[in-house]
Amino acid sequence: MNLDERLENVSVIGAAGKMGSGIAVLLAQELAKLKAHNQGKIYKLNLIDVNDAALDGLRRFIKAQVTKVAEKSIVALRSIYADRDDLVENWEMIEAFVDDAFSVIRFGSDLKMAADSLLIFEAIVEDEAIKIRVLKELNELCGEETLFLTNTSSIPIGFLDEQAGLSGRIIGYHFYNPPVVQRLVEVITAQSTQQELRGIGAELGKRLRKKLVPANDISGFIGNGHFMRDGLYAIGEAERLKDKYSLPGAIYIMNRISQDYLIRPMGIFQLIDYVGIDVFQCILQVMRKHLGDSTLQSDLIDRMAERGILGGQRVDGSQKDGFLKYERNRPVGVYDLEKGEYQPIEGKWKEDLDAAIGPLPAGFSPWRNLLREPKKEEKLSAYFQNLQGAKTFGAELARAYLARTKEIAKKLVQDGVANSEEDVNSVLTNGFYWLYGPINDYI
């Protein structure tokens, strides 16, 4: 059975969530194209979520996203609707594409909707007990031809396969957030994964115009295998520095070092907030269990979670407060666990910390400025050369951080998580929007 045939009936489980909603948009676009070319066929995209209220929001989200894509794809739409004499104006084609997308969608909260699906995308909470229970139920509902693509970011695929009894009909298909925008998909196969599913995953990636990077079936895979350890390093440094600078001060320092000195799109504590402190904690627990590595744990993360300071995003995409307090998605405070309140990032407090860090090395340019810079590599090389010779406290912290992040990346290759250093760099540059891979000659 080829991909076109399987796309005649598809389900997304957890469709109203952060990841599921993006996957739903991508599939709705693909099915709308297929329907336009095959008017006599019936296509079904079952969007299933336990949260009925969230499904209402999903309707609006899909309409807005599909409309936006259609507006940017008029040339492609003219080709798709070349046989439709009734569609002349651009707005008519845009409306037709949105109508075709919505005509294939069924919204609901009952897993039984997926019973006849040939492809099922699972994008529920990163909790292995819940995932296994849902996959087992789906396996009982569906036929033996149904293939499963799980968006897990840390749970071994072979473990899910064995526990849910899927007989090799599951593959890891880890989209990055937000799936509509992010190019990267980490593809994880277990030894048991059926060859047909491997081929389906590869073809689907081409259709969705995604960059597929293979990762081996070791908990955390490449992305979280690096991110968790990178985050734990920053947390460890903050705890080391807290006696001199206070914990909020140390968090501010390490967040600024990781963003400015390492020229990343956001600081490490911002990134943990973006993912969600509770999600970060959950992934650590999964990796600790499956890898037997007791170092994959953080008392600070546990204390924040116990306090209910979790970060994450609201439905409208705005950032919730976590390690940092946000206004218009910009950090304006750092959480003080002892006081139970946020220390404002302003005034003498901030000035003293910035003075301790010291000035940025010559040649510094913010991440956003370098993103589309034609001479990016040249400028990065010059900047990091200056960083090497800088004598400031900030430069010292940055050099140690760069060395650690490189060490983490190389170990992912040594441990067989990644097939090559290039794959590790590809995940970090495409999935995390770094300007350069962690394995480099800058330092």
**pLDDT bracket for residue 433 (50, 70, 90):** very high
Structure tokens at 105: 């969608």
- Fill in the amino acid letter for 40: G
- Parts of the chain belonging to CATH 1.10.1040.10: 223-431
Are 168 and 194 in contact by the 8 Å Cβ rule? The answer is yes
Q: Tell me the CATH number for domain 3-216.
A: 3.40.50.720
The per-residue pLDDT of the chain, averaged, comes to 96
Averaged pLDDT, 416-440: 97
| pLDDT tens-digit map of 96-123 | 999 999 999 999 999 999 999 999 999 9
DSSP E strands, 142-237 = 147-150, 170-175, 184-189, 211-216
| pLDDT at 316 exceeding the cut of 80 | no
- Parts of the chain belonging to CATH 3.40.50.720: 3-216
Are 212 and 176 in contact by the 8 Å Cβ rule? The answer is no
| pLDDT tens-digit map of 338-366 | 999 999 999 999 999 999 999 999 999 99
In 3-state terms, what secondary structure has residue 308?
coil
**Per CATH, is 223-431 categorized as 3.90.226.10?**
no
Strand partners, 56: none
Residues 35 and 82: their CA atoms lie apart, in Å, by: 14
Q: What is the DSSP string of 224-270?
A: HHHHHHHHHHHHHHHHHHHHHH-HHHHHHHHHHIIIIITT-SS-HHH
pLDDT of residue 40: 82
| pLDDT at 61 exceeding the cut of 90 | yes
In 3-state terms, what secondary structure has residue 108?
strand
For tokens 């540059």, what's the residue? 429
Structure tokens at 52: 């009925």
Are 53 and 94 in contact by the 8 Å Cβ rule? The answer is no
- Closest by CA position to 228, among listed 297, 133, 303: 297
- Structure pTM? 0.94
Strand partners, 335: 342
Averaged pLDDT, 376-391: 97
